[in-house]
Amino acid sequence: MAERRPYQSIPLWQDVDDAQWNDWRWQIANRITTVEQLGQVINLTEEERRVIAESLNTLRMSITPYYASLMDPDDPACPIRMRAVPTMFETQIRDEDQVDPLAEDTDSPVRGLTHRYPDRILFLVTDQCSMYCRHCTRRRMAGETDQPLPQSQIDEMIAYVREARGVRDVLLSGGDPLTFATDKLEYIVARLHEIPHVEIVRYGSAVPVVMPQRITDELVQMMKRYQPVWLNTHFNHPREVTPESRRALAKLADNGIVLGNQSVLLKGVNDCPYIMKELVQRLVHNRVRPYYIYQCDLSQGIGHFRTSIGKGIEIIEHLWGHTTGFAVPRYIKDVGGGVGKTPIDPCYIISRSERMVIFRNYEGTIGRYIEPEAEETRSGGYPEQCQICEERKRRGLDQPQVGLEQLFSGEVSALEPAHLDRHERNQMARAKRGA
Ligand SMILES: *Cc1c(COP(=O)(O)O)cnc(C)c1O
Ligand code: SF4
């Protein structure tokens, strides 16, 4: 007689064996999608049942048996449960909510692809996820079809990357690219890999969190054929770092896949410096570098998850200096309307004079740094310009500068919006005078 497994104590899975449980295809095929099934795993009130049925119209529910087995059956505030189980709050749309707050569809030269930053592309291979997170920022599309994209569209996306010479980093996301069959995924990765200007391929996948069974030897062998490969996963809470997910992370790390993590700051889930510190330390212990903490976006129906920006700053304040430097993620606000990602930091420079900068550290101790005299930085036997800059200038390789770069390089002395009333006024006045 085999030992009883914890999941077998849940009536829904009492006859399931390890071979099934550990097979990701079984996990996908047996996702919890109805209130009836969910009611066999956690205890739901009548009210909760009604509300779940209602909010399913916004983003489909689908919970892998593995992730569901981690839920506290009696605690609606269980962080695992809050990621997976819909609530009535999702039906509430606030004034500030938007369908596509990051304007990903606007910066999209080919459907499925967002090209916003100069050297990297977001490549949305599917709208399917193994599990749908209630806080998903891409609710407008995640789970819309629960299917991979048609081949013809993928080929168009690859063709775009092939032509986009400046792109050196392709980020496969979705949905979750690791819901693809390995051979289908390899088709995409192999083609991207053979494009000379594509230096790295990145996967963005929640699979190590919500369906670690997907990290099979076959998948990892495929992934490592196309090095250098990075994978960013999506742990939000230390309770998600289970023995199963640790095994999946170890398999990836042992095979040379560089691991990072992106969390979303979520009210009632991880908006606490102590929870976040435990999370980042557990991640580092498992060879995952905490990469970003995102401020929750203005997508529709996730207002109840949003915190103040101050909460995020407070968390970074509790991490920086208090723990390993590379355990501290960057806190990011992806500013709407296509403005894009901007980092947010606590202020460590508290004052400065002409040559002195005053800093405080994590303890509140204050110290100073004395800068070299302007004269010194220009002499001392070194050329004023570095040789690479000189060479670029000589060969006419200088790219047009972007943003503040133009101020630094002296190309312009001020940056102005495209339209300014005072310019228009002056122009009109000049025109009138016939000047
Ligand atoms: C986040 C994002 C990327 C990747 O950004 P990194 O800061 O390099 O991780 C690329 N394109 C888009 C549109 C994104 O939103
Ligand atoms: S895995 Fe990512 S894309 Fe999929 S539902 Fe969760 S947050 Fe959204």
Question: Are residue 132 and residue 262 in the same domain, yes or no?
Answer: yes
pLDDT at 382: 54
CA–CA dist 3, 9 (Å, integer): 12
Question: Are residue 170 and residue 254 in the same domain, yes or no?
Answer: yes
Distance between Cα 79 and ligand 1 center (Å): 26
CATH code of the domain containing 237: 3.20.20.70
Instruction: Give phi and psi for 274, each to the nearest 5.
Output: -75, -40
CA–CA dist 44, 36 (Å, integer): 10
Nearest Cα residue to atom 1 of ligand 2:
206
Tokens (6 digits) for 324 = 């390993």
pLDDT in tens, 75-104: 999 999 999 999 988 888 999 998 888 887
pLDDT in tens, 418-427: 889 998 899 9
Rounded to the nearest 10 degrees, how much is the dihedral formed by the CA atoms of 297, 302, 305, 309?
30
User: β-strand 340-344 against 349-352: which pairing, if any?
Assistant: unpaired
Would 301 be classed as within a structural domain?
yes
Question: Between 395 and 341, where is the model more confident?
Answer: 341
The verdict on whether 129 is a catalytic residue reads yes
Would 144 be classed as within a structural domain?
yes
Question: Are residue 217 and residue 292 in the same domain, yes or no?
Answer: yes
As a residue count, the chain comes to: 435
pLDDT at 154: 94
The verdict on whether 139 is a catalytic residue reads no
pLDDT at 19: 96
Confidence of residue 409 (pLDDT cuts 50, 70, 90): confident
Would 419 be classed as within a structural domain?
no
Nearest Cα residue to atom 7 of ligand 1:
341
Would 102 be classed as within a structural domain?
no
The verdict on whether 133 is a catalytic residue reads yes
Question: Are residue 196 and residue 325 in the same domain, yes or no?
Answer: yes
The tally of domains found in the chain comes to: 3
Would 137 be classed as within a structural domain?
yes
pLDDT at 376: 65
pLDDT at residue 224 greater than cutoff 80? yes
Contacts of 3 (CB under 8 A, 6+ apart): none
CA–CA dist 22, 29 (Å, integer): 13
Segment 219-229 mean pLDDT: 97
Segment 164-192 mean pLDDT: 95
The verdict on whether 296 is a catalytic residue reads no
CA–CA dist 140, 269 (Å, integer): 23
Question: Are residue 379 and residue 330 in the same domain, yes or no?
Answer: no
Question: Are residue 269 and residue 301 in the same domain, yes or no?
Answer: yes
Would 432 be classed as within a structural domain?
no
Tokens (6 digits) for 279 = 């999370």
Question: Are residue 196 and residue 266 in the same domain, yes or no?
Answer: yes
**Domain membership of residue 372 as a residue range:** 349-392
pLDDT at residue 202 greater than cutoff 90? yes
Would 422 be classed as within a structural domain?
no
Contacts of 268 (CB under 8 A, 6+ apart): 77, 79, 82, 305
Q: Which residues pair with 201 in a beta bridge?
A: 170, 229
What value does the CA radius of gyration of the chain take, rounded to a whole number of Å?
25
Average pLDDT over the chain reads 92
102 CA: nearest ligand 1 atom: 15
Question: Are residue 202 and residue 60 in the same domain, yes or no?
Answer: no
Nearest Cα residue to atom 1 of ligand 1:
341
